């Protein structure tokens, strides 16, 4: 690239350039910014981004569920819009940015960046730095950003994040996502990295409760302190219906030397804590607790090798997440590529993430079941799928915001169809696996091995209707999987979706352009307020709502009296946006409705955000 000819520069441009050089750091990560301008920077000189709804792609299944957002467009423009609509309100940012491997995996200014490009690192750094600076303003005070990346740019990304998110600790973890290994030179690479930006001096990463850590075993105690004489009050009968296996009740505890009485009811069986060696033991729970746990579904009866046994479930203890994640479920081939194919059929999207890896990254960031999760490198839509699945599992109301361009039709042919299918249901094609049994074998569990293996074999013998029953033992965990080769309809998780595309209005600050910005910001304002349901409109205003509030957008100040008459009919609070060329304060005009109405002047509120970003 040719050197700059400073002789042609104006005095003002030279001064500005010198001031910029003076501000540059003398130590740290430095790259050639001047040679790496992006096209959007030129677009932004002439246009300001807004959102246009693609109404035919909207999905509505349940008004009580959250409305998720998919934005098609350059993520810089979309993030600019979100700086107005979602300032300091994002709980989790999860991204899987381009890895800059040099294998034509990402484009810069519509050109693939090859391995022999002398400026490939500068281009990637410039690309990432601009976007990360924008999202910093979106994170809530306790919000966490998680970025997955491989060895090509992990160190540079960490330095960028440390500079931008200086109020957060940048923590690195390792995820084994390809246990087969990818061979290029020297080592077979099996892992990638996750960089976490966690607010300083705060312990916010959630504790992990693995399902395999749950206790699910015979209610009869074993080991030290388990004999009848050591705890006589814990030796009593549990009455079970022989046909239904329903637990009916419990007897009084027997005295230490009292013989077990004969049971008279032929339709039920009285079960005592006596093991296969005829040794009289004790129950884990006392008689006063057992029926309460039965009602909760935590204690039940089952037949094992012809005998009625009493089993119980207890939630495992939470533990800190480890810095190295290894589990077959993180495999990108099985739970990324194969899963995507089962939802969409054959497609050419490369290297989708394991849905389980993304789910755990989201879960690690927050306990909130109504969290707002942003992914501005949405790709195949794994993050959206993960959020929908989490909501299905625990009844949560998490909301995702996905942003992706439409390069190679990725948004319209991959991301959107996947999200649509997962919400509404689809014809499942491929291999479906169901976890039937899982037990982590610790040293203490080995003492209970007979019960564990008995339950394992019983589960295996009762698991019918599968094409294959598969046993796995990895990472000290015993699993039993039921596998079906399916070609059936899979029910959707439900949810709602709004689909937007980025567009532009002229940036020149004329009165005409201000009015145009206001009229084309309706979708932005609805997104800001979360009010997507249309109520009514005239030439002068539009009104929208959700279950909690309304949003009114007024284009003509002369129609304030008529709008107020309309607002009087509404039964919830209202955010009113009033068009004004001069950023007027309309509090007095709505003073008699101050308990119900909050007023904001536009487009100046939007322009203030854009001036901060683009100047």
pLDDT digits (tens, 9 = 90+) for 314-348: 877 788 999 999 888 899 888 999 899 989 988 88
The yes-or-no verdict on residue 60 having pLDDT over 80 is yes
The yes-or-no verdict on residue 588 having pLDDT over 90 is yes
- Span 543-556, average pLDDT: 96
Phi, psi of 444 (to 5 degrees): -70, -30
Q: What is the pLDDT of residue 61?
A: 94
Q: What is the pLDDT of residue 210?
A: 63
Instruction: Categorize the per-residue pLDDT at 305 as very low, low, confident or very high, splitting at 50, 70 and 90.
Output: confident
| C-beta of residue 283 within 8 angstroms of C-beta of residue 236 | yes
Which long-range contacts link 31-38 to residues 24+ away (Cβ below 8 Å)?
31/121, 31/122, 31/125, 31/126, 32/119, 32/122, 33/122, 33/126, 34/4, 35/1, 35/119, 35/122, 36/108, 36/119, 36/122, 36/123, 36/126, 36/127, 38/76, 38/108, 38/109, 38/126, 38/127, 38/130
Give 96-109 pLDDT, tens digit per residue. Answer: 998 765 555 545 55
| C-beta of residue 403 within 8 angstroms of C-beta of residue 73 | yes
If one compares 452 and 268, the residue with the highest pLDDT of the two is: 268
Q: What is the pLDDT of residue 17?
A: 80
Q: What is the pLDDT of residue 223?
A: 79
The yes-or-no verdict on residue 257 having pLDDT over 90 is no
User: Superfamily for 10-204+321-425?
Assistant: Vaccinia Virus protein VP39 (3.40.50.150)
Mean pLDDT of the chain: 88
Query: Which letter does DSSP use for residue 14 in this model?
Result: H
Question: What are the start and end residues of each CATH 3.40.50.150 domain in the chain?
Answer: 10-204+321-425
> What does pTM read for this prediction?
0.79
- Span 390-409, average pLDDT: 95
If one compares 52 and 64, the residue with the highest pLDDT of the two is: 52
The yes-or-no verdict on residue 515 having pLDDT over 50 is yes
Instruction: Give percent of the chain above pLDDT 90.
Output: 60
Give 124-164 pLDDT, tens digit per residue. Answer: 888 899 999 999 999 999 999 999 998 888 999 999 999 99
- Span 371-379, average pLDDT: 97
Q: What is the pLDDT of residue 1?
A: 44
Q: What is the pLDDT of residue 35?
A: 56
The yes-or-no verdict on residue 421 having pLDDT over 70 is yes
Q: What is the pLDDT of residue 403?
A: 98
What residues pair up with 536 in beta bridges, in sequence order? 543
Residue 158's contacts (CB-CB under 8 Å, 6 or more residues apart) are 170, 172, 195
């Amino acid at each position: 690239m040719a050197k700059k000819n400073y002789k042609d520069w104006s005095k003002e441009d030279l001064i500005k350039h010198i001031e910029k050089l003076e501000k540059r750091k003398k130590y740290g990560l430095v790259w050639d910014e001047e040679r790496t301008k992006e096209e959007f920077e030129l677009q932004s000189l002439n246009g300001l981004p807004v959102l246009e709804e693609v109404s035919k792609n909207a999905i509505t299944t349940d008004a009580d569920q959250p409305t998720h957002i998919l934005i098609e467009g350059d993520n810089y423009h979309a993030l600019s819009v979100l700086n107005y609509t979602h300032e300091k309100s994002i709980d989790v940012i999860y991204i899987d940015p381009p890895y800059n491997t040099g294998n034509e995996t990402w484009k810069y200014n519509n050109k693939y960046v090859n391995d022999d490009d002398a400026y490939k690192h500068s281009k990637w750094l410039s690309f990432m730095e601009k976007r990360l600076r924008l999202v910093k303003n979106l994170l809530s005070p306790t919000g966490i950003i998680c970025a997955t990346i491989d060895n090509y740019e992990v160190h540079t990304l960490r330095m960028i994040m440390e500079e931008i998110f200086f109020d957060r600790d940048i923590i690195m973890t390792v995820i084994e996502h390809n246990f087969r290994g990818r061979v290029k030179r020297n080592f077979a690479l099996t892992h990638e990295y996750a960089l976490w930006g966690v607010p300083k001096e705060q312990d916010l990463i959630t504790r992990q409760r693995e399902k395999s850590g749950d206790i699910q075993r015979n209610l009869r105690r074993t080991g030290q302190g388990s004999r009848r004489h050591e705890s006589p009050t814990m030796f009593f009968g549990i009455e079970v219906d022989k046909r239904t296996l329903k637990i009916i009740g419990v007897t009084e505890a027997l005295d230490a030397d009292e013989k077990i009485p004969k049971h008279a009811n032929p339709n039920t069986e009285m079960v005592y804590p006596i093991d296969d060696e005829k040794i009289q033991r004790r129950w884990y729970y006392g008689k006063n607790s057992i029926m309460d746990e039965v009602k909760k579904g935590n204690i039940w009866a089952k037949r094992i090798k012809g005998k009625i046994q009493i089993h119980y479930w207890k939630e495992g203890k939470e533990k800190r997440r480890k810095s190295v994640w290894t589990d077959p479920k993180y495999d990108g081939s099985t739970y990324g590529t194969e899963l995507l194919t089962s939802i969409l059929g054959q497609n050419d999207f490369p290297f989708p993430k394991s849905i389980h890896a993304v789910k755990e990254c989201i879960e690690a960031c927050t306990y909130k079941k109504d969290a707002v999760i942003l992914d501005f490198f949405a790709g195949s839509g794994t993050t959206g799928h993960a959020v929908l699945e989490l909501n299905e599992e625990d009844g949560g109301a998490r909301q995702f915001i996905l942003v992706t361009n439409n390069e190679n039709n990725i948004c319209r042919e991959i991301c959107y169809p996947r999200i649509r299918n997962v919400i509404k249901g689809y014809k499942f094609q491929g291999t479906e696996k169901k976890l039937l049994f899982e037990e982590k074998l610790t040293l203490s569990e080995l003492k209970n091995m007979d019960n564990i293996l008995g339950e394992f074999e019983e589960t295996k013998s009762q698991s019918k209707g599968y094409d294959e029953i598969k046993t796995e033992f990895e990472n000290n965990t015993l699993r039993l999987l039921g596998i079906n080769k399916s070609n059936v309809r899979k029910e959707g998780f439900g949810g709602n979706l709004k689909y937007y595309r980025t567009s532009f209005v002229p940036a020149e600050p004329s009165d005409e352009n201000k009015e145009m910005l206001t009229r084309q910001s309706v979708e932005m304002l609805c997104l800001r307020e979360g009010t997507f349901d249309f109520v009514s409109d005239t030439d002068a205003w539009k009104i929208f709502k959700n279950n909690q509030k309304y949003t009114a957008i007024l284009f003509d100040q002369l129609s304030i009296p008529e709008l107020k008459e309309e607002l009087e009919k509404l039964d919830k609070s209202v955010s009113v946006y009033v068009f004004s060329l001069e950023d007027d304060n309309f509090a007095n005009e709505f003073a008699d409705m101050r308990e119900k109405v909050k007023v904001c002047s536009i487009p100046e509120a939007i322009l203030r955000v854009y001036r901060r970003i683009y100047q």
